[in-house]
Amino acid sequence: MPKLKWPGGLLKVLILSAVLSLTACGSGTTTTVTNTTTATQTATQTTTQTTTKTTPNIKNPNTFIDASLNSVETMDLQLMTSSATTVLSYNAYDSLIASNLEGDLFPALSTSVPTADNSLLTTEDDGGVRIEFPVRQGVLFHNGDVLVPEDVKYTYMRGMIMDKFADITQALTGTGSFAALIEEKGLEAAFAELDNAIAIEGNSVVFYLVQPFSPFLDIISDNGAKFGIMNKSWAVGQGAWPGTLETVEDYMTLTDESNALHDKMMGTGPFMLTSWQPGERVVLERFDDYWQGPAQIERVIRQIVADNNTAIQLLKQGDADFVSLSLPEIQQVEGLDGITVVKDIPTAQLIKINFNFDIKGDKYLGDKQLGSQGTPADFFSDIDVRKGFCYAFDYETFIDEVLLGAGLKPYGPVPIGFPTSNPDTSQYYFSLDKAEEHLRQAFGGELWEKGFKLVVHYNEGSAHRQRAMEILKANLNSINPKFELEIVSLPWASYVGGINDSELPLSVFGILPTNRHPYASLHYHMHSGGFYAGAEGYTDLAVEKYDALIDELASTFDNARIAELSNTLQELSYEDALSIFHYQVIGQVAMRDWVQGYEIQAYPFFINYYPISKGY
């Protein structure tokens, strides 16, 4: 049985489209790795790796140091919203089943992948679906507790009552949120419906779906990133939800201050959390009793840095082992003694600039009126404002001058290279004339006469996000001098917190799907139970126009119908101008040449620490 933390022998880079032209460059000894396409992939891609060997003087030989701009918002895996943070849960937890980048599924904490052939996945007489997961015996949590089926049920129940597993709630009940289920049926009946939908039968956990839900196995096979299995007895002992109906209302909504698990982890994965200094570093230690055998490296440090110039200096000195960089930044270390550079990595990292239709709080709105002193909270609820901003962004300049070509203009919410990603989807383009046309119509012409002042943000240290806001600011101001953006930086945790709390008027954040089914991207971007509709204030629009289509897409196994629904939803996203589809990343990373075992993944900064070692 292969190692299940995305085994290297099975790992292949996500293939994008034939528009990618990846050219080898740099000095030193160059190794070109070619990933051959499958029948569903569109082109053969290459990544370029340049290594200049140095003398074998390894710093911190038992510790892997990952220098990162991205801080951490929480250690509670069910409340994590950024992939920069879920890389930690990915390495500290395991899910029931695992997957690789091609979408192949493998047993993990379940001893089998449910299929119709092994009778673990069956269709019931009422049209529902029964999915059974035999729980692996003898697996230990980091505190020595033994994994039992009750841990699995508790994990899913907790995620659903907090409305963090909306797609699972939809599959089990036909309703996309626990809150909506309560409104429909009352608390007691809603809780009973969840409770009955997940049963413990012997040493198995059985999920009863109300109807077929095609992405179910793909969604939960995220290798522990979001659907990692928690230790129930430990969690309850820390003060987390006790698992009872009587206490459920107290735990449906948690703040960082009220969340007993905010700064804690307890998984079955190859690494365990030993310390977290917010804004400074996270330390993970090897779990020697890991059920697949201990990891290669003893310790991992996620070192938070103010900017990538600091990270580059640490890398040059050997005080950091790894850093993810932009193409301009990678050129600062390419060819240097003792440093390996891996360039031109295709990714599934789709970045977009998000409009908040209903901005909460008073922090960034000034007097909350159109004019030189502020902006109303519903500023982006006007479709002409959104369309004007979409046309005002200079996509090509950003990709060519800021990214130096290391990016693609997305077609829409389904990443390029994924099934149903459609190059024929209508797209916005840079046009000041079109932008002016829409902005003149916004708010019945009042916006053009009065103007606005809006505070917008980027996370500190991110030159990309800063430059995106600067491009938008300059173009809007050139259309009408009364249009003013004030650009402010925030620490990463505050930036993510502001998005979660619906406070940021604009945010540069992404769609980073954990599987290739179009449901993953479209639900996250458009469904009322997904992340963006709630965070950006367009839940009502989602209920009215998108939910039924996305729910149908999830319930069918007909590939032609899936493609049809996906194309319709991508076109609706364009028509309603939900966000500016900014760019899809082509990644670059640099590491010390003593680092062994790095595996290219969907996002270059997302590291599987399990096979990492240091040596020559």
Residues in CB range of 196: below 8 A, 6 or more apart: 208
CATH of segment(s) 91-251: 3.90.76.10
Domain 348-584 has CATH 3.40.50.2300: no
- Residues of the chain predicted below pLDDT 70: 1-56
pLDDT in tens, 188-224: 999 999 999 999 999 999 999 999 998 999 999 999 9
Alpha-carbon distance of 544 to 527, in angstroms, equals 10
Cβ pair 418, 521 in contact under 8 A: yes
- Residue with token string 């009872």: 244
pLDDT for position 46: 46
pLDDT for position 150: 98
Neighbours of 458 (CB within 10 A): 22
pLDDT for position 273: 98
* pTM, rounded to two decimals: 0.78
Q: Which amino acid is at 340?
A: T
pLDDT for position 56: 63
Q: What are the angstrom distances between the C-alpha of 302 and each of 63, 64, 78, 464?
A: 11, 9, 20, 21
| DSSP string computed for 474-542 | HHHHHH-TTEEEEEEEE-HHHHHHHHHTT--SEEEEEE--SSSSHHHHHHHHH-TTSHHHHHTT-HHHH
Cβ pair 10, 223 in contact under 8 A: no
Cβ pair 285, 299 in contact under 8 A: yes
Sign of the alpha-carbon dihedral angle for 254, 259, 262, 265: negative
Domain range list for the chain: 29-71+268-346+586-614, 91-251, 348-584
Architecture of the domain spanning 29-71+268-346+586-614: 3-Layer(aba) Sandwich (3.40)
pLDDT for position 347: 87
Q: What are the angstrom distances between the C-alpha of 186 and each of 211, 462, 516?
A: 22, 46, 36
3-state secondary structure of 587: strand
User: Of 340, 513, 352, 363, which Cα lies nearest the Cα of 428?
Assistant: 352
Sign of the alpha-carbon dihedral angle for 296, 301, 306, 311: negative
Alpha-carbon distance of 11 to 1, in angstroms, equals 15
CA dihedral 103, 105, 108, 114 (to 10 degrees): 140
